[in-house]
């Protein structure tokens, strides 16, 4: 066992007698990481709590009022046709679904004109306080502004979350992707001089090349006190998304300046809380950060770029960071790495290639005597690519099993489940079954003569 990833519950990653602690006790070199997808979902969830609660209540109330009644669904479709909006269903925000909130926000913004007309009618016909409360929120101009802000900012979290749900290796991209998200959020409310190097800083640190400048800028950004008010842009200059800025200008006569100021303050609190959550949940400043950062040599883009591959002169230090996966002969490992940097590879710089395919190709390169040219390096890279970055893939498998083994099919044998899962995996990759394979699908595939007390 070389790596373990799970959600951050106490039973999994707690300080005392958790599963990760027990694993670490038995396997000293085990790579441990909290599931990236769970962590980024929590970052967005805690940040959303800084916004007024009325926004989330609005989404839930609209769904509960309409979708739980077939009559109201039918009435609402008439209003959708009247304003020429697609007859999409309303969505419900779910706490256990990582990417649900953004879809709910987009659907509400799409359906808002029909919702305003529907609830104006519902107030007169149903005469319910619930309808009046929802109508007030629909007509409140700040409701649409908050929804537009969420529509702008949530993709920063969702895009990374989606990428890290991949079944292919992504750990080597984690640090870079996190840092890009972190810096992008900072740019929305921080003064520009804190996000770039001055000429004085370059001179004092003797920075002469682009790679060193980027390293220095990264350290500067990670040390910024983003909660300090003096470092912030003026409140009216904080960026909240293009649609928010346009709506504020269009509705400047109907929105009180105090409401706009309160909106900007709440959105600023969202930014600050999201950054605090990212720093708390992801190791930016310790040894774990260096381990993730140094994995970038696995990225094919590094070796296919003449400038970037010079920025990684050695990988011998990874022997101490990953002792269970690294070969003992670090000198030979480094020699192979430096030789690979000067090898002409049959890939173009703009060609998209997966890391596992790239290193599989490196393992097949041969010398004149047909022995491997990079045996230690290829094996080390492929070992690192087995390290987990999330538990999404495993949870996806659990969901597949729950769909197959239902109350009606509750006696499915483990072998049958395994076969169904393999079949599903094969169909996902568009594998065409051969004729030889199809011949096995006959009555002989079933075990009719079972031992006593055995079941299929």
Q: What is the tens place of the pLDDT at every residue in 8-42?
A: 889 999 888 899 999 999 998 888 888 888 888 88
Structural domain for 330, as ranges: 289-384
Q: What is the mean pLDDT of residues 408-433?
A: 82
Residue 400 is assigned to a structural domain of this protein: no
User: Is it the case that residue 455 has pLDDT exceeding 70?
Assistant: no
Residue 260 is assigned to a structural domain of this protein: no
What pLDDT is stored for residue 205 in this prediction? 61
Count of domains forming the chain:
4
Whether residues 296 and 369 fall in one domain: yes
Whether residues 373 and 294 fall in one domain: yes
Whether residues 413 and 380 fall in one domain: no
User: Is it the case that residue 199 has pLDDT exceeding 50?
Assistant: yes
Residue 5 is assigned to a structural domain of this protein: yes
Whether residues 369 and 416 fall in one domain: no
What pLDDT is stored for residue 456 in this prediction? 45
Residue 195 is assigned to a structural domain of this protein: no
> What mean pLDDT is reported for the chain?
86
Are 289 and 175 a contacting pair, CB within 8 Å? yes
Non-local (6+) Cβ contacts of 312 within 8 A are 296, 297, 302, 337
Whether residues 59 and 7 fall in one domain: no
- Assign 285 a pLDDT band (cuts: 50, 70, 90): low
Residue 162 is assigned to a structural domain of this protein: no
- Assign 97 a pLDDT band (cuts: 50, 70, 90): low
Q: In 10 A of CB 304, how many CB atoms?
A: 17
- What DSSP assignment string belongs to 161-188? HHHHT-SS--HHHHHHHHHHHHHHHHHT
User: Is it the case that residue 120 has pLDDT exceeding 90?
Assistant: yes
Q: Report the phi/psi class of residue 9: left, alpha or beta, with left for phi > 0 and alpha for psi in -120 to 50.
A: beta
Whether residues 65 and 134 fall in one domain: yes
- Assign 452 a pLDDT band (cuts: 50, 70, 90): low
CA distance 365 to 375: 9
Q: What is the mean pLDDT of residues 392-401?
A: 87
What pLDDT is stored for residue 121 in this prediction? 92
Residue 435 is assigned to a structural domain of this protein: yes
Whether residues 304 and 373 fall in one domain: yes
Query: Given 353, 384, 415, which residue is the final one in a domain?
Result: 384
* Predicted confidence (pLDDT) per residue in 150-177, tens digit: 999 999 999 888 888 888 888 888 888 8
Residue 39 is assigned to a structural domain of this protein: no
User: Is it the case that residue 275 has pLDDT exceeding 90?
Assistant: yes
User: Is it the case that residue 75 has pLDDT exceeding 70?
Assistant: yes
Q: In 10 A of CB 455, how many CB atoms?
A: 7
* Predicted confidence (pLDDT) per residue in 236-246, tens digit: 999 999 999 99
What pLDDT is stored for residue 163 in this prediction? 86
Structure tokens at 306: 């003449």
Residue 133 is assigned to a structural domain of this protein: yes
Q: Give 335 or 431, the one with higher predicted confidence.
A: 335
Question: What are the beta bridge partners of residue 366?
Answer: 372
Are 100 and 106 a contacting pair, CB within 8 Å? no
Query: Given 108, 132, 153, which residue is the final one in a domain?
Result: 153
Structure tokens at 162: 């989606």
Q: What is the mean pLDDT of residues 428-434?
A: 71
User: Is it the case that residue 126 has pLDDT exceeding 70?
Assistant: yes
Burial bucket for residue 196 (CB in 10 Å: 0-12, 13-18, 19+): exposed
- Measure Cα distances from 71 to 67, 77, 127 in Å: 9, 10, 16
Q: What percent of the chain has pLDDT over 90?
A: 35
What pLDDT is stored for residue 442 in this prediction? 81
HSE of 310, CA atoms in CB hemisphere, 13 A: 6
User: Is it the case that residue 58 has pLDDT exceeding 70?
Assistant: yes
Whether residues 28 and 58 fall in one domain: no
Whether residues 307 and 380 fall in one domain: yes
Burial bucket for residue 237 (CB in 10 Å: 0-12, 13-18, 19+): exposed
Structure tokens at 342: 């000067």
User: Is it the case that residue 454 has pLDDT exceeding 60?
Assistant: no
CA distance 5 to 34: 5
- Measure Cα distances from 103 to 109, 140, 154, 225, 369 in Å: 10, 21, 10, 33, 58
Burial bucket for residue 19 (CB in 10 Å: 0-12, 13-18, 19+): middle
Whether residues 15 and 99 fall in one domain: no
* Predicted confidence (pLDDT) per residue in 343-389, tens digit: 888 776 566 788 888 999 999 998 888 888 999 999 999 999 999 98
């Amino acid at each position: 066992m070389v790596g373990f990833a799970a959600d951050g519950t106490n039973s999994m990653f707690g300080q005392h007698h958790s599963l990760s602690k027990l694993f670490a006790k038995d396997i000293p070199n085990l790579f441990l990481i909290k599931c990236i997808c769970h962590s980024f979902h929590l970052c967005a969830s805690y940040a959303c709590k800084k916004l007024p609660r009325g926004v989330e209540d609005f989404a839930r109330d609209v769904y509960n009022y309409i979708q739980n009644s077939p009559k109201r669904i039918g009435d609402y479709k008439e209003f959708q046709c009247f304003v020429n909006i697609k007859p999409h269903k309303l969505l419900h925000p779910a706490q256990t679904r990582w990417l649900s909130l953004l879809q709910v926000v987009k659907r509400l913004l799409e359906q808002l004109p029909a919702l305003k007309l529907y609830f104006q009618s519902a107030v007169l016909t149903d005469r319910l306080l619930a309808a009046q409360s929802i109508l007030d929120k629909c007509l409140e101009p700040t409701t649409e502004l908050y929804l537009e802000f969420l529509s702008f900012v949530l993709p920063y979290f969702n895009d990374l979350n989606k990428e890290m749900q991949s079944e292919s290796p992504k750990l080597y991209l984690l640090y870079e992707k996190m840092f890009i998200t972190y810096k992008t959020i900072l740019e929305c409310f921080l003064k520009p001089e804190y996000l770039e190097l001055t000429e004085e800083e370059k001179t004092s640190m003797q920075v002469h090349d682009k790679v060193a400048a980027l390293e220095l800028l990264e350290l500067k950004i990670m040390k910024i006190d983003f909660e300090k008010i003096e470092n912030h842009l003026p409140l009216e200059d904080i960026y909240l998304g293009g649609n928010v800025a346009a709506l504020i200008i269009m509705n400047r006569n109907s929105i009180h300046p105090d409401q706009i100021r309160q909106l900007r303050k709440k959105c600023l609190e969202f930014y600050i809380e999201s950054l605090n959550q990212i720093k708390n949940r992801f190791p930016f400043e310790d040894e774990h950060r260096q381990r993730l950062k140094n994995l970038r040599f696995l990225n094919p883009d590094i070796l296919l770029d003449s400038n970037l591959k010079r920025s990684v002169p050695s990988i011998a230090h990874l022997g101490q960071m990953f002792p269970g996966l690294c070969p003992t002969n670090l000198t030979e490992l480094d020699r192979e790495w430096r030789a690979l940097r000067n090898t002409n590879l049959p890939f173009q710089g703009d060609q998209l290639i997966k890391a596992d395919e790239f290193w599989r190709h490196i393992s097949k390169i041969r010398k004149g005597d047909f022995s491997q040219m990079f045996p230690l390096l290829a094996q080390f890279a492929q070992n690192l690519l087995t390290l987990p970055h999330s538990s999404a893939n495993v949870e996806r498998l659990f969901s597949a099993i729950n769909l197959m083994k239902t109350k009606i099919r509750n006696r499915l044998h483990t072998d049958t489940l395994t076969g169904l899962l393999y079949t599903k995996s094969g169909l996902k990759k568009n594998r065409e079954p051969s004729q030889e394979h199809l011949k096995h699908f006959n009555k002989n595939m079933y075990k009719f003569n079972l031992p006593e007390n055995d079941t299929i």
